[in-house]
């Protein structure tokens, strides 16, 4: 991995500032750490004895009783058994409040870092990588993108993606190149085609691939193991950094049952394949605990970790102590520990799989049966990606006149169909019918119309809708029949006058 792929966050600093280091106070702190007997009148932290919070008790689900802790948690509601994780100013606990609510190291408190490191090592093989705490994946991705590129750089991404993430990079000048994605994740041949045929006049060849390998949002696709291996090999040949954003990793379905002695591992991540240090993995507690926690972690090569910490020191500083205490206690000796955590996430997998299966059954009955839309079975995450067969619509136009383009009419530079318009009408019809869905066009990343990064124009490829099974059975049971009805009415509409 070429370190020239990193942007030093201090690249704008004057030579004088660089010469004395990004933060000269660090020297003072270093001297204090190296000389614990020094009397310090230097550091100006508030006295922790004046912190008015003396204790926090977190009541969390108990994972020791019952067959499936998640089933029990839902079934018993307020009566479900809980355990209390406590932390106070001074009492013995894994991470005391007095420490957790002080200013801390940008990467996170050592106890919290050790906690996520143990978690990572239980599910991945990453002996040469180190953790950095984050404020959840949005924060992590923003920082990673900031360090990986700027104006004039191109990053590669899944052609449909959760838009605030690529926009975070666009907002400081990075341009995006979409890569075709299907039920098995991004298509390695398409990735390689883009890199092999890159026009140097366009700019520097992309050096970053941003991808969501499990239960991708919005397509619900999960990269097959075979594709992961091929993509990693392409990354090696073209010196790509892989940003593996994996918030749905712990929500995977149709896993083989554990054999009773040890739980079966989830499919291998890019991190687990990373012999070069080119993978930056991004994990979050949002989908498995609660998104309002705003806590996650990055696992990366130490070189990148050092850049990250510098950026953290010049922006958000370290994450809040509340979440760091919680996960340290939760996964520590008096909490769930790793075994209990695994029971919890496997319970979540089973629960979301039940919801997925309900949505699939409803979809088959009320939507696929119309012949107007179809879908595939997502292996992870929270989303069903349904293709609407607009080509069967009476007002579908499959060969709009080409404007402003020479050539044979192939390529991605101009929309050739009225898919975008029909999707907007379908969306409005759903809303009028009482149902809110997500049309594909809210997930498309900007493309340069001068290049055929994907085989057809993004508008022509936006014939999908995203449906979630994260919600309740009631919502799905009430919503899917509406979708079937609206589709039938919409497709039966009068042909264009």
Mask for 91-130, x = binds its own copies (CB under 8 A) = ---------xxxxx--------------------------
Which one of residues 156, 181, 293, 372 is an interface residue with its own copies (CB under 8 A)?
A: 293
> How many other CB atoms are there within 10 angstroms of residue 201's CB atom?
6
Span from 37-45, 234-242, 367-375, 414-422 in contact with its own copies (CB under 8 A) = 37-45
Burial of 216 (0-12, 13-18, 19+ CB in 10 A): buried
Q: What string marks each residue from 454 to 473 as x (binds its own copies by CB under 8 A) or -? A: ------------xxx-xxx-
Does 350 help bind its own copies (rule: CB under 8 A)? Answer: no
Note whether 203 binds its own copies by CB under 8 A: no
Q: Number of residues in contact with its own copies, rule: CB under 8 A?
A: 122
1 or 367, CB closer to its own copies?
A: 367
Give whichever of 163 and 239 is closer to its own copies, judged by the CB atom: 163
Task: Please report whether residue 426 would count as binding its own copies according to CB under 8 A.
Answer: no
- Kindly state whether residue 306 participates in binding its own copies, applying the rule CB under 8 A: no
415 contributes a contact to its own copies by CB under 8 A = no
446 lies in the binding site for its own copies (CB under 8 A): yes
> Whose Cβ is closer to its own copies: residue 58's or residue 277's?
58
- Which of 2, 4, 49, 407: binder of its own copies (CB under 8 A)? 49
Cβ atoms of 227 and 188 closer than 8 Å: yes
Q: Tokens in use for 53?
A: 């919070």
By CB under 8 A, is residue 33 in contact with its own copies?
Answer: no
Sign of CA pseudo-dihedral 110, 108, 162, 351 = positive
Among 476, 486, 487, 490, binds its own copies (CB under 8 A): 476
Q: Based on the shown chain and the rule CB under 8 A, indicate whether residue 135 belongs to the binding site for its own copies.
A: yes
Binding span for its own copies by CB under 8 A among 116-124, 261-269, 314-322, 369-377:
314-322
Q: Is 214 helix (H, G, I), strand (E, B) or coil?
A: coil
Under rule CB under 8 A, residue 361 binds its own copies? no
DSSP summary character for residue 117: H
Stretch that binds its own copies, among 125-133, 257-265, 400-408, 438-446 (CB under 8 A): 438-446
Could you tell me the two tokens for 459? Answer: 């508008």
Angle at 23 between CA 20 and CA 26, to 5 degrees: 100
Contact by Cβ (8 Å): 352, 382: yes
Report the interhelical angle of 473-491 vs 419-433 (nearest 10°). Answer: 130
* Stretch near its own copies under the rule CB under 8 A, chosen from 50-58, 193-201, 236-244, 486-494: 50-58
Which listed residue (31, 196, 225, 364) binds its own copies by CB under 8 A? 31
Question: Looking at 289, 298, 360, 454, which residue binds its own copies (CB under 8 A)?
Answer: 289
Cβ atoms of 45 and 25 closer than 8 Å: no
Q: Which positions from 63 to 92 touch its own copies by CB under 8 A, shown as an x/- string? A: -------x--xx---x-x-x-----xxx--
Half-sphere exposure of 195 (CA within 13 A, CB side): 22
Residue 492: Cβ-neighbour burial (10 angstroms; 0-12, 13-18, 19+): exposed
Residue 135: CA count within 13 A, CB half-sphere:
12
Q: What angle do CA 50, 55, 56 make, to 5 degrees?
A: 130
| Torsion, CA 407, CA 412, CA 417, CA 420, rounded to 10 | -150
């Amino acid at each position: 991995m070429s370190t020239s792929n990193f942007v030093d966050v201090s690249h704008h600093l004057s030579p004088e500032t660089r010469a004395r280091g990004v933060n000269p106070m660090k020297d003072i702190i270093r001297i204090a750490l190296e000389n614990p007997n020094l009397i310090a009148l230097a550091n100006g932290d508030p006295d922790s004895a004046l912190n008015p919070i003396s204790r926090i008790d977190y009541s969390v689900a108990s994972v020791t009783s019952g067959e499936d802790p998640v089933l029990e948690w839902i079934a018993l509601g307020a009566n479900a058994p809980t355990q209390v994780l406590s932390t106070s100013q001074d009492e013995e606990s894994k991470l005391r409040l007095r420490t957790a609510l002080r200013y801390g190291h940008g990467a996170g408190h050592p106890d919290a870092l050790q906690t996520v490191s143990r978690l990572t090592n239980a599910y991945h093989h990453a002996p040469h990588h180190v953790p950095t705490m984050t404020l959840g994946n949005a924060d992590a991705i923003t920082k990673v993108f900031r360090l990986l590129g700027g104006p004039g750089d191109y990053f590669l991404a899944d052609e449909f993606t959760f838009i605030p993430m690529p926009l975070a990079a666009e907002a400081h000048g990075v341009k995006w190149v979409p890569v075709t994605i299907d039920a098995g994740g991004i298509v390695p041949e398409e990735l390689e085609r883009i890199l092999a045929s890159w026009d140097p006049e366009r700019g520097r060849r992309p050096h970053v691939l941003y991808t969501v390998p499990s239960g991708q949002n919005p397509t619900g696709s999960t990269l097959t193991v075979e594709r992961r291996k091929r993509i990693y090999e392409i990354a090696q040949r073209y010196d790509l950094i892989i940003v593996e954003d994996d918030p749905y990793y712990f929500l995977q379905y149709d896993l083989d049952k554990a054999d009773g002695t040890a739980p079966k591992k989830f499919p291998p991540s890019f991190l687990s394949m990373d012999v070069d240090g080119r993978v930056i993995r991004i994990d979050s507690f949002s989908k498995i605990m609660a998104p309002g926690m705003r806590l996650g972690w990055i696992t990366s090569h130490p070189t990148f970790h050092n850049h990250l910490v510098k950026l953290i020191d010049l922006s958000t500083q370290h994450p809040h102590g509340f979440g760091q205490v919680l996960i340290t206690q939760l996964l520590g000796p008096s909490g769930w520990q790793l075994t209990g955590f695994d029971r919890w996430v496997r319970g979540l997998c089973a629960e979301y799989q039940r919801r997925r299966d309900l949505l699939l059954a409803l979809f088959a009955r009320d939507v696929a049966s119309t012949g107007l839309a179809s879908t595939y079975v997502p292996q992870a995450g929270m989303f069903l990606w349904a293709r609407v067969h607009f080509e069967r619509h009476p007002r579908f136009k499959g060969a709009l006149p080409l404007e402003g383009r020479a050539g044979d009419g192939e390529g991605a530079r101009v929309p050739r169909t009225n898919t975008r318009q029909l999707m907007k009408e379908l969306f409005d019809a759903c809303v009028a019918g009482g149902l809110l869905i997500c049309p594909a066009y809210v997930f498309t990343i900007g493309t340069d119309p001068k290049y055929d990064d994907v085989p057809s124009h993004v508008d022509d490829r936006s014939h999908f809708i995203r449906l979630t099974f994260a919600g309740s059975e009631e919502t799905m049971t009430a919503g899917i029949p509406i979708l079937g009805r609206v589709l039938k009415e919409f497709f039966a509409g009068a042909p264009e006058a």
